[in-house]
Structure 1
């Protein structure tokens, strides 16, 4: 059934909507708004204030109630008609997640759903996988995000509470249990006929529920028998394009698949561009790898809307309606030849109506973004909001993906999503962290790529320099808008960092909007993709100093290497290079770059404390100096290397331990190397 034709809403119709790919392309009738209750820090009240970035995003509730002698923390309280459509939680602290979750409908004093929170959300008490699950399977259970996608409709009212004796205070500022939650819910137009969820409804629709779960697990695309195929392929030199015109009335693209190959595949995935125009409206403009959810590194995934197969096949199954014609273009915007093979567009009839929307996709990259530094949970530091997308007109927002390259050993996604609908002055979606928005938790790097609506095909860059790729697609939690839509995301690192951050957004717009086009300009897609940290972090001596964390690691024969981040130490740039767990015979080789040749004295600044040891350091294999980091308390020490000959271009730093420490760490902390005196 097409979504726009539904008049009655109940558990059955919502289940059917989940697996109806066609319905998402219809502007919803009856209309609904999609909003969010969450545990975001309630001191965030005004954009521009420091408190706007307050980060006590846990154990924040609407109020407390005493019900039947039990103290319950109210997480959600809203008037209907409506439905819960996505419920995410994670926990920390003593007996975390063992509290009792209760869901009350229509002002009834007895909860319709009651039980341990983890049992309800991901433990299978209400539904099986993938509607009820936790991610990632590779992550320790208490560090996972717990997701419930089972629809829970209500006619008049819904209230959700959590009971736990371990909660000490709002925000968990003094300890106790930390409760994080995001609840997405629909509110239908007043008068919409919505049947309230009940266990009886669940039982009567058990067969359908089982079918929906199986369809979501298998994720097969059922193409109508009257479909048409448009094959395409070609070897594209720089600047060349493949163009596929489609002239069909009342039709739609149902599936798109292709293989892409090039000498530098990672660059080709970013610099090969996809553009699609529907009836003269160019609504899709995106690098091809980002469109299929893999970014510029090929990573397998299998979601409801996109797939990246082990053999490199890229596939999507968004339904993309067209009234009379469509032009599909792939352009090689790079500097190498790119081969497109096994390309195929599959179309099928689609009934065009006044509620039919065009599919859209936009991409942008924030290149060499200096992210804000998180100093504490009060908003101190340098956080800021970036914009994923701003859309005007009537439409529905249906998902997003991000690719990024992190350059430090620190979490990049402390920030919250803030979504404004139809000129809201305060976002109706205010989240609790980027990883929470994408369905996992606690910054975990473990991959998960087999859920229909969320994925992390690569989390290598979550705690370390490297690449991260996250996806979230929306079905029941899609967000309609009547006038405009704005999606901002906070940018917070645990320390200062320079990163590349590229969001891709997916949406539908009605054709009578004044400007029904993708806002992408794709200029950043011409940039070289980042595969190594030194592509973003300069190794060049600047202002007579090279930071320890800017030295490039060439080789390490033993021990462990990282950057230490702290706003409490007096390190330059709040960071230092750390080499630890070393033993006699280990060697560390680092490099930096000088723009000219000269002889100088170098001041080497290092950390001292109980777990630091004694090391020899030399530059360009000139005379060496001894760094003795042993001290009772933390402090900074320094040593001078005299008359070091610096070459124009690459220079080399060598470090080795001078003793075997009883302490496992036996580490050196290098803050920076400064030019003290240049000999004439």
Structure 2
């Protein structure tokens, strides 16, 4: 039976700009129809703490809006580990790495409508990944831009007992602008510990003639596998589609879709010419119904290929997984200037 209908020994918490400490009765005392502190300003070059909670407990939902671009870096620390288990630009974390493009190919706000994340019209970012912690949870936001920015947020969860076998949520950012031609793109590597891989969001920007960019194959290496144990047949296949997301059959045009766990939910660029558009694509695959289990290591790669062979497109991704602590330090982020994507 689902948790929401069970009376449990747990206590709800919620951190927001109006209640930054997340304590009971800690929200605004201004009365009805007042806004005393609906947003938090993060000065350029500074970091603010959004959550600092003593466990045990679990974060259940996060919502953000306001400035939600790549200048903001979200980090999450579990149980006083010195370095973060989550580190990514806020926009890329929510599968929206082309944060300087608000309107998609069809003149609409793109909508990612999955079970784990929702990008709502106007850039309302929502996460429903459960993030358990035993001793402490700390979430920070750094502004790496050159001007002050405002953030609206609410992060909710519950203080409750957490099973000893519960894994800790992790996420890491990667990019290659462009991918080195003839070399596979690395989604994630360097994971050390026992856990399960639960997904990836990907942004791709075409460089040169399109030539059906989705021919690249996804490969997953479990533990000490010298060769992949999980090997997909093509990029569109890994993200739940087929035949170039519809671009090489019948209507011969890419078609967006957004499902519970997989999707290609947005296209930027209005060139609809068959295969030749210099377009940008946003995709996701969450392994919730089929988590990928590993005992001590995990690595995933994705080819960048077209019909004519290797390509040199711009790839940007965030990988998500759960594992035991301590975990290995994440790969350092590129500079703020290197992250600029249009």
TM-score range, shorter chain: 0.7 to 0.9
The aligned runs of 1:215-230 (5 Å cut-off) are 226-230=11-15
Deviations 1:164-222 (A, max 9, x none): xxxxxxxxxxxxxxxxxxxxxxxxxxxxxxxxxxxxxxxxxxxxxxxxxxxxxxxx999
Shift of residue 448, structure 1, vs aligned partner: 1.1
1:412 is aligned to 2:247: no
Answer whether contact 2:57 2:133 (CA < 8 A) is retained.
yes
TM-score between the two structures when normalised by the length of structure 2:
0.78
Q: 1:221 to 1:296 in 2, by over 3 A?
A: farther
1:508 is aligned to 2:314: no
Please give the secondary structure, in 1, of the residue aligned with 2:163: coil
TM-score between the two structures when normalised by the length of structure 1:
0.41
1:482 is aligned to 2:301: no
Q: Which has the higher helix share?
A: 1
1:424 is aligned to 2:235: no
1:243 is aligned to 2:54: no
Please give the secondary structure, in 2, of the residue aligned with 1:289: helix
Answer whether contact 2:179 2:185 (CA < 8 A) is retained.
no
Answer whether contact 1:285 1:518 (CA < 8 A) is retained.
no
Structure number with larger C-alpha Rg = 1
Which of 337, 348, 352 does residue 162 from structure 2 map onto? 352
The aligned runs of 1:393-408 (5 Å cut-off) are 393-408=193-208
Q: 1:472 to 1:319 in 2, by over 3 A?
A: same
1:529 is aligned to 2:330: no
Q: 1:518 to 1:454 in 2, by over 3 A?
A: farther
Shift of residue 524, structure 1, vs aligned partner: 4.7
Match of 1:441 in 2: 242
Deviations 1:530-570 (A, max 9, x none): 32xxxxxxxxxxxxxxxxxxxxxxxxxxxxxxxxxxxxxxx
Distance 2:7 2:97 in 1: 27
Which of 125, 141, 144 does residue 333 from structure 1 map onto? 144
Match of 2:25 in 1: none
Match of 1:98 in 2: none
Distance 1:506 1:222 in 2: 28
Answer whether contact 1:271 1:526 (CA < 8 A) is retained.
no
Answer whether contact 1:275 1:286 (CA < 8 A) is retained.
yes
1:231 is aligned to 2:16: yes
The unaligned stretches of length 5 or more in structure 2 are 18-38, 103-109, 246-253, 270-274
Please give the secondary structure, in 1, of the residue aligned with 2:65: strand
1:301 is aligned to 2:87: no
Shift of residue 460, structure 1, vs aligned partner: 4.2
Give the ranges of 4+ consecutive aligned residues of structure 1 lying more than 6 Å apart after TM superposition: 220-225
Match of 2:26 in 1: none
Distance 1:524 1:440 in 2: 33
Answer whether contact 1:287 1:525 (CA < 8 A) is retained.
no
1:363 is aligned to 2:173: yes
Q: 1:518 to 1:288 in 2, by over 3 A?
A: farther
Greater RCO, 1 or 2 (C-alpha within 8 Å, sep 6+): 2
CA-based RMSD of the aligned residues comes to 2.5
Answer whether contact 1:284 1:518 (CA < 8 A) is retained.
no
Answer whether contact 1:458 1:469 (CA < 8 A) is retained.
yes
Q: 1:493 to 1:529 in 2, by over 3 A?
A: farther
